[in-house]
Amino acid sequence: MLTVNAYAASSPTAPLEPVTITRRDVGPKDVLIDIAYSGICHSDIHTVREDWGKIHHPLVVGHEIVGTVSEVGTEVTKHKVGDRVGVGCMVNSCRECENCLAGEEQYCLGGNVGTYGSVDRDGTVTQGGYATHVVVDEDFVLSVPESLDYAAVAPLLCAGITTYSPLKHWGAGPGKKVAVIGLGGLGHMAVKLAHAMGAEVTVISRSNSKKDDAARLGADHYVATEEAGALRAHRNEFDLIINTVSAPLDLDTYLRLLRLDGTMVNVGAPPEPLSLRVFTLFGNRRSFAGSSIGGIRETQEMLDFCAEHGIVPDTELIDVAQVNEAWDRVLASDVRYRFVIDASTI
Ligand code: NAP
Ligand code: ZN
Ligand code: ZN
């Protein structure tokens, strides 16, 4: 076993601190990755703060990992030492259920093995990417195109795929009007990706403070919800709405923005149950849906799409010593638009 440096909190309210954890020996199908950069997702904070339920502390979080392969198992064929690779939100699944066979391992009927906080096949609890190294089955390791800025690419592994997948599934493209609610980590990727797919993109943010950024990221229009009547002016307009907000919203207000057969997809994951009036769905035959990350094949497709279109997240690179401050800034929506930890400082 390999003992490695990591960062974790000892309780839901404690700051993150240095810890050491062990990684399993490299098995025949495993790769050992020297982590270079690790993104900070709002889900990391929800998890450690126990917004979604109790967890076993300390837990090392982080599921936007990029690094270099430094060792491979005897049966590994997909990756070799020196390759630039990534790991997202899953590190395994049953591989046998109909969803796994369809390449949608995120919806594994037995539950996928999350990159952190899941019981792995060997019975241990998985520990995530705020660490120097990780050992992962080669089938859940992505190839990261070398043309993408190494220090900025990590957030594609969660924020990128979580927005790419519903945009693709619900047909974002030329002639389609897509709205993105919340301009944070996921939201800014949704804007870049929907724009690259050829859709007409509207950002719905609370204030006008991100208006210039939205245009730079590729948005065609901008709505600040704090302005009276701002949303009402966009009723019956959008084919697809991607809601990335981490807190509860009044769904009916936003569903009314959908045109005939439009869909609002929730990727934001507030802990509270949400309610809506079914009559809002009756109007325009609207749909309300959810979407969880994306499968391995689609994640690779997304990375290749980003390489083709020259898309990387807008990031702020930090030393691990700044991680607690960064978490506070995520909670205050003061991130432009994803923090990435330089793993050499861990
Ligand atoms: P983030 O960077 O904090 O962005 C969330 C954005 O939501 C903020 O920038 C803010 O945008 C808006 N917002 C925050 N609080 C709000 C409030 N009270 N009312 C209205 N708007 C508010 O977070 P993230 O990393 O993008 O993650 C967003 C959510 O997606 C989290 O709940 C996360 O757990 C979830 N998630 C889900 C999946 C999945 O597979 N479905 C994957 C990853 C993350 P403005 O300042 O522009 O208003
Ligand atoms: Zn995430
Ligand atoms: Zn499965």
Amino acid at 138: E
Residue 122 pLDDT: 81
CB 114 within 8 Å of CB 65: no
Ligand 1 pocket test: pick from 38, 40, 42, 181 the residue with the most ligand atoms within 8 Å of its Cβ: 42
Residue 184 pLDDT: 98
pLDDT, one tens digit per residue, over 291-343 is 999 999 999 999 999 999 999 999 999 999 999 999 999 999 999 999 999 99
Ligand nearest to the CA of 111: 3
- The whole-angstrom separation of Cα 140 and Cα 127 is 15
| Ligand 1 closest atom vs CA 106 | 40
Checking if the pLDDT of 121 tops 90, the result is no
Residue 302 pLDDT: 98
The residue contributing the CA closest to ligand 1 atom 31 is: 246
> Any idea which residue has 């800014």 for tokens?
188
Ligand 1 pocket test: pick from 51, 186, 254, 293 the residue with the most ligand atoms within 8 Å of its Cβ: 186
Residue 51 pLDDT: 97
- State what percent of residues in the chain have pLDDT above 90: 98
Q: What is the mean pLDDT of residues 58-83?
A: 98
Checking if the pLDDT of 71 tops 90, the result is yes
pLDDT, one tens digit per residue, over 154-204 is 999 999 999 999 999 999 999 999 999 999 999 999 999 999 999 999 999
- The whole-angstrom separation of Cα 127 and Cα 104 is 22
Residue 64 confidence class, pLDDT cut points 50, 70, 90: very high
Residue 41 confidence class, pLDDT cut points 50, 70, 90: very high
Phi and psi at 167, nearest 5°, equal -60, -45
Residues 6+ apart with CB under 8 A from 150: 36, 37, 66, 84, 144
Tell me whether the omega of the peptide bond preceding residue 337 falls within 30 degrees of 0, making it cis. yes
| Ligand 1 closest atom vs CA 204 | 47
pLDDT, one tens digit per residue, over 324-337 is 999 999 999 999 99
Q: What 3-state DSSP class applies to 108?
A: coil
Ligand 1 pocket test: pick from 231, 245, 291 the residue with the most ligand atoms within 8 Å of its Cβ: 245
- The whole-angstrom separation of Cα 121 and Cα 123 is 5
pLDDT, one tens digit per residue, over 8-26 is 999 999 999 999 999 999 9
Residues 6+ apart with CB under 8 A from 104: 295
Rounded alpha-carbon distances, angstroms, from residue 78 to 103, 144, 236, 297, 344? 17, 12, 47, 13, 26
- The whole-angstrom separation of Cα 18 and Cα 9 is 9
Give kind and range of the element (H or E) at residue 318.
strand 315-318
Residue 320 pLDDT: 98
pLDDT, one tens digit per residue, over 124-152 is 899 999 999 999 999 999 999 999 999 99
Phi and psi at 168, nearest 5°, equal -65, -50
- The whole-angstrom separation of Cα 79 and Cα 270 is 36
Residues 6+ apart with CB under 8 A from 22: 1, 2, 3, 4
Q: What is the mean pLDDT of residues 26-40?
A: 98
Residue 241 pLDDT: 99
- The whole-angstrom separation of Cα 233 and Cα 245 is 21
Rounded alpha-carbon distances, angstroms, from residue 64 to 36, 193, 319? 11, 18, 16
Residue 14 pLDDT: 97
If you ran DSSP here, which 8-state letter would residue 126 be given? P
pTM above 0.75, yes or no: yes
Phi-psi group of 23: left, alpha or beta (phi > 0 → left; psi -120 to 50 → alpha; rest → beta):
beta
- The whole-angstrom separation of Cα 308 and Cα 301 is 10
The residue contributing the CA closest to ligand 1 atom 12 is: 182
Amino acid at 168: K
Task: Give distance in angstroms: CA of 35 to centre of ligand 2.
Answer: 17
pLDDT, one tens digit per residue, over 234-248 is 999 999 999 999 999
